[in-house]
Structure 1
Amino acid sequence: MAMLDLYHALADEERRLSGHDRKLAQIVLDDVDFAIHSTIGELALRAAVSPPTVTRFCRRIGCAGFSDFKLQLARMNYVGLRYLRPEVPTTSAAEVAQDIVGKAQNALFQLHQQLDLAALERAAQALRAADFILAFGSGGNSSMISHELHNRLFRLGCRIHSSNDRSMDLMLSAAVTPGTVTVVSSMTGLDADLVRCLELMRQQKVPTIALTQSGSPVASAADIPIAIDLPEGRNIFRPTSTRYAFLAAIDILANLVAYADRQRATVFLRRIKEELVRSRDGDDRQLLGD
């Protein structure tokens, strides 16, 4: 039985269980850890049923027996209780807006409290001195972060290329040349392919910067780790607010790079703005930089 199939069988959304089976299912969902570590007799005692009743219950929900049931239950529990017992989400537009904006504000505040400013300074200096910059992302949000780094730095006169293709990342890492600096983004820091890319860079003595969780394999493999450690809530329906922290870190790096050589950055920013005013905007009242 698949992990989530077992959960749905226990949740009994179709109301197929009755009597003792429904009682056993509720006891299991109320205390998954107890059910995983209990004997058949202990579970039967808590439900006030006989051990054979527990065995029949396990088989009716699709398991081979009590041992198989506990195995499937343990696998289900790996996902985390927030997926087994989701937080009741807010529903109105006002509540959702408050929730999303509030979590974004909290993410930015927590990032500000934990930033390694010395690491940011070193990373910005390396980026400004680089002849070429590679930006790799790992996963959906980090792929967006690597593209945003490209978006921020090319307008400052930096030569940069972003990639989110794992095979391409490995090939680029193997072919890297002196003068390159690489920035990687990984919210978990667990991507083995990204670690391999960083190891290849290190062999070529190419400086590497990682935006990721502290103490992770990606952080350990990078020359300049920029730690971003934010807790996740229980609402599985809300997009992660951690990405706001990653975007803020990118903006801080880009701003430091711009200030490191203001004259050069100004030249490229002016060229870009002049073209946008000429071909699209008609004046200089639109947003800066885009």
Structure 2
Amino acid sequence: MFTAEQLSRFSELDSRLYQYILSHGEKVIYMRIRELAEATHVSPTSILRFCNKLDCEGYSEFKTKLKLYLQESGKAPLNESYETMNEFLERTLKTDYQSQINEIAEKVAEAEHVVFLGTGSSGILAEYGARYFSSLNKFSSAINDPFFPIHGKQIKDSIAIVLSVSGETPHIISQMHNLKEEGAAIVSITNTKTCTAAQIADYSLAYYISTEFNDTANITTQLPVLYLIETLGKVTFEKVKD
């Protein structure tokens, strides 16, 4: 980020933005475009042009790249949970989640069995999801053992809800393959739609949150996953009731 070639394209206004961002980067990664515009006395359109000169498609991509840049230089703080969730909820207003969730809920309501699948922190949420759906009159179970055997004719009429931040965990991918071979339908809830889990699922929901690590521990927020589980559970409840 901020290569010599990119800097050479800056106008006087761009240079002013650049100076502010370098001095206040820890705050900028949590600022909305209008907040940055007010702080720097420029228009949101000027900020978008600035982002384009840094080879970013938009302000969200710029903030993600800035966060990575600060992490590499050791200046980035941990994500603020409020800001992260607020960013996700803003994005839901621009994403057609409702039609996706309605379609998935139809399939979940029709399924004979519902299985939540995940490992690590996603495994804990798989247990929560199973309990939440069961509380809403759709009995569900959870598998958080990556080596749990998946066989039996009951799986044919089941639907599996797979939770994975990266969507690339080998054991999860293997279990998804086994479930599909046995005839189960697959729903993935992952951070992106381009990961392997989302690509092989029949239905996918993606929440697009900046991943976060503390050393080797993945501490990416799971708040969007809870939101999607609970929303899907409530819509399924209404369809089962009908």
Normalization by structure 1: what TM-score?
0.52
Higher helix share: 1
Query: Which residue number corresponds to residue 123 of structure 1?
Result: 104
For the structure 1 residues 115 and 235, does the alpha-carbon distance in structure 2 shift closer, same or farther, using more than 3 Å as the test? farther
Cα distance between partner residues in 2 of 1:199 and 1:235: 31
Larger Rg over CA atoms? 1
Cα distance between partner residues in 2 of 1:192 and 1:239: 19
Q: How does 1:187-226 map to 2 (within 5 A)?
A: 187-212=165-190, 213-226=192-205
Query: Which residue number corresponds to residue 138 of structure 1?
Result: 119
**Would you say 1:261 and 2:240 are equivalent positions?**
yes
Deviation at 1:234, TM superposition (A): 9.1
Asked if 2 retains the 8 angstrom alpha-carbon contact of 1:87 and 1:235, the reply is no
**Would you say 1:163 and 2:143 are equivalent positions?**
yes
Normalization by structure 2: what TM-score?
0.62
Between the two proteins, the alignment pairs up a number of residues equal to: 172
Cα distance between partner residues in 2 of 1:233 and 1:110: 19
- CA-to-aligned-CA distance 1:23-79 (integer Å, 9 cap, x gap): xxxxxxxxxxxxxxxxxxxxxxxxxxxxxxxxxxxxxxxxxxxxxxxxxxxxxxxxx
Asked if 2 retains the 8 angstrom alpha-carbon contact of 1:134 and 1:161, the reply is yes
Which among 202, 222, 230 is matched to residue 251 of structure 1? Answer: 230
Cα distance between partner residues in 2 of 1:260 and 1:190: 32
Asked if 2 retains the 8 angstrom alpha-carbon contact of 1:176 and 1:201, the reply is no
**Would you say 1:150 and 2:127 are equivalent positions?**
no
Query: Which residue number corresponds to residue 82 of structure 2?
Result: 101
Deviation at 1:216, TM superposition (A): 0.7
**Would you say 1:183 and 2:171 are equivalent positions?**
no
- CA-to-aligned-CA distance 1:80-120 (integer Å, 9 cap, x gap): 76554333538xxxxx9xx3322222222224433543331
For the structure 1 residues 176 and 183, does the alpha-carbon distance in structure 2 shift closer, same or farther, using more than 3 Å as the test? farther
SS where residue 118 of structure 2 aligns? strand
Asked if 1 retains the 8 angstrom alpha-carbon contact of 2:157 and 2:183, the reply is no
Asked if 2 retains the 8 angstrom alpha-carbon contact of 1:183 and 1:210, the reply is yes
For the structure 1 residues 235 and 192, does the alpha-carbon distance in structure 2 shift closer, same or farther, using more than 3 Å as the test? closer
Cα distance between partner residues in 1 of 2:102 and 2:231: 10
For the structure 1 residues 108 and 252, does the alpha-carbon distance in structure 2 shift closer, same or farther, using more than 3 Å as the test? same
**Partner AA of 1:240 in structure 2:** T
- CA-to-aligned-CA distance 1:201-235 (integer Å, 9 cap, x gap): 22222111110121111011111111222234799
- CA-to-aligned-CA distance 1:226-253 (integer Å, 9 cap, x gap): 1222234799899533x11111111110
Asked if 2 retains the 8 angstrom alpha-carbon contact of 1:181 and 1:206, the reply is yes
RMSD: 2.8
Asked if 2 retains the 8 angstrom alpha-carbon contact of 1:88 and 1:235, the reply is no
Provide structure 2 residue ranges, at least 5 long, that are not aligned to the other structure: 1-67
Percent of residue pairs bearing the same amino acid type: 13
Deviation at 1:162, TM superposition (A): 0.6
Asked if 2 retains the 8 angstrom alpha-carbon contact of 1:110 and 1:230, the reply is no
Deviation at 1:184, TM superposition (A): 0.5
SS where residue 255 of structure 1 aligns? helix
SS where residue 138 of structure 1 aligns? coil
Deviation at 1:159, TM superposition (A): 2.0
